[in-house]
Amino acid sequence: MNETVKTVAVKRRSSLGVHWSELTSKYSIYLVLIGMIVVSSFLSPVFLSETNFSNISRQISITTILAFGQTLLIICGMIDLAQGSVMALAGLLAVIFFKMTGQLVPSLFVGVLVGVLCNLASGVIVTNFNTPPFIATLAMQTAARGAALLLTSGQNVYQLKDFVLWGQGILLGIPTPVIFLIGVAIFSWYLLNHWRLGRYIYAIGGNQEAARASGIKIKRTKLMAFGINGVFVGLAGVLYMSRVNAGLPNAGVGFEFDAMTAAIIGGTSFSGGVGTAIGTLAGAFIMGFLSNIMNLLGVQSYLQQVIKGAIIVMAVAYDIASKSKRTKTILGNIQEKTSG
């Protein structure tokens, strides 16, 4: 009898342990995020303030919008190295359009259109010429940057006047870039979770040949993924230029890598077929919190880069390790059931 009670207690503890292990592995990146918030709130008394959170959201809005585009592409087995350059070109053209016409809303559409056209060009090269996305978008990166510099002979454009409303405005107490970020986040989540296109994107990234065999139109899906990325990149360009109140042809250098980092930290896998919009948002906030807390604490510039690199590696390693543990547990359960 005592042995039966002990066995039940052991089985219950083991079951609880398995549940806890599943929870932590599934939500590991969010646990990291919560952990960072808790630790940062002890390190700096102003970290948890409303204005600080508003600042962080505004600061990360542009690279996070890019990160959602990068997430879609990486899940689909592709990548975009041209985000920063196309963002600069799109934003600059939007600025120039506004200065010529004074039309605020159309200037946003100009930026988005430029982003879409550049990305569709990359998409056509990838889908019709079987060029690796790395190469196609690397070429676009160079071309778009050259075009941006050519437009203004390398000079910045000033006196943007009302154009700054896109990046510096406030609506119902929320900064406009954050409103756009929320919109892009909801759209991306809905696309990946509830639209057929989202399922196709996952399928192609998971196994392109199986997706093709099941009737998914590969080229069309990839082009659409690039097109959506183009919308996000164009929007990011308009928000960036308006936030800094200048048309900067050299803007956005390296932004695509920040976007990729946010996506990867959030659980998107370079092997394709894996990733979530919420994970990317969490990854972006992790990076934003890191920069913010180190600036609030006055950590020296060089040390900041070392610490950032170390924490990013630890966050991703913890996430991968907990996912591996979960996979092993699942495989172990399957083996147990099939042999049992």
Partner 1 sequence: MKLSVKNCLVAAAAIITATVGAADPSDAQGASKYRIAYIARAQGDSFAAWLANEMVAQAKQYPDISATVFDGQSRNDLIEAHIENAVQNKFDLVIIQPYDPPIQLDPVKQAMAKGMKVIATNPKFTDESIPSVDANPYQQGAENAKLAVNQIPKKAQVVVLLGPAGNPHSMGRREAWQKEFFDKRPDVKILDEQIANWNKDEGMRLTEDWIQSHPKIDAVISMNDNMAAGAIEAIKGSGAKSYPLVYGVDGTAEACLLIKDGKMTSTTLQNAHELAVKSMKMAHDMLTGNATNLHDTIQAELITKDNVDKYIELHKQLGDIK
Question: Binding marks (x or -) toward partner 1, 25..64, rule CB under 8 A?
Answer: -------------------x-x--x-xx--x--xx-----
Q: How far is the CB of 51 from partner 1 (least distance, A)?
A: 6
DSSP line for 196-251:
HHHHHHHHHHH-HHHHHHTT--HHHHHHHHHHHHHHHHHHHHHHHHHHHTSB-TTT
- Contact (Cβ atoms closer than 8 angstroms) between residue 212 and residue 218: yes
Burial pattern 257-289, b for ≥16 Cβ within 10 A else e, equals ebbbbbbbbbbbbeebbbbbbbbbbbbbbbbbb
Residue 68 C-beta: closest distance to partner 1, Å:
20
Shortest Å distance, C-beta 194 to partner 1: 35
Q: In the complex with partner 1, which residue's Cβ is closer, 85 or 268?
A: 85
Among positions 4, 301, 338, 339, the unique one binding partner 1 when judged by CB under 8 A: 301
Q: List, in sequence order, every beta strand (DSSP E) within 272-333.
A: none
Least separation in angstroms between residue 239's CB and partner 1 is: 11
CB of residue 56 to partner 1, shortest distance in Å = 9
Q: Among 1, 302, 337, 340, which residue interacts with partner 1 (rule: CB under 8 A)?
A: 302
Closest separation in Å from C-beta 270 to partner 1: 26
Stated as kind and residue range, the H or E segment containing 170 is strand 170-171
Measured from the CB atom, the residue of 9 and 253 that comes closer to partner 1 is 253
Q: What are the backbone angles phi and psi of residue 269, rounded to the nearest 5°?
A: -105, 135
- Least distance CB 154 / partner 1 (angstroms): 2
Q: Give the number of residues in contact with partner 1, rule: CB under 8 A.
A: 38
Closest approach, Cβ 127 to partner 1, in A, equals: 13
Note the helical H segments in 44-153: 50-75, 83-101, 104-128, 133-152
Q: Which residue has the tokens 């939500």?
A: 27
Residues 6+ apart with CB under 8 A from 239: 61, 62, 65, 91, 166, 167, 176, 177, 180
A 10 A CB-CB count for 62 gives 28
Are 188 and 71 in contact by the 8 Å Cβ rule? The answer is yes
Please report, as residue ranges, which positions from 207 to 266 form the binding site for partner 1 (by CB under 8 A): 240, 243-246, 248-251, 253
Q: In the complex with partner 1, which residue's Cβ is closer, 68 or 240?
A: 240
Q: Sketch the per residue contact string, 137 through 176, with partner 1: x for CB under 8 A, - otherwise.
A: --------x---x---xxxx-xx--------x--------
Looking at the Cβ atoms of 12 and 219, the one nearer to partner 1 is 219
Residue from 295, 327, 333, 335 touching partner 1 (CB under 8 A): that is: 295
Closest among 251, 253, 191 to 224, alpha carbons compared: 191
Q: Which is nearer to partner 1, 15 or 155 (CB)?
A: 155
**Judged by CB under 8 A, does residue 101 bind partner 1?**
no
* Gap between the Cα atoms of 56 and 73, Å rounded: 25
Nearer to partner 1, 31 or 165 (CB): 165
Instruction: Report how many helices (DSSP H) and strands (DSSP E) the chain contains, helices first.
Output: 14, 2
Which residues sit at the interface with partner 1, rule CB under 8 A? 44, 46, 49, 51-52, 55, 58-59, 128-129, 145, 149, 153-156, 158-159, 168, 240, 243-246, 248-251, 253, 291-292, 295-298, 300-302
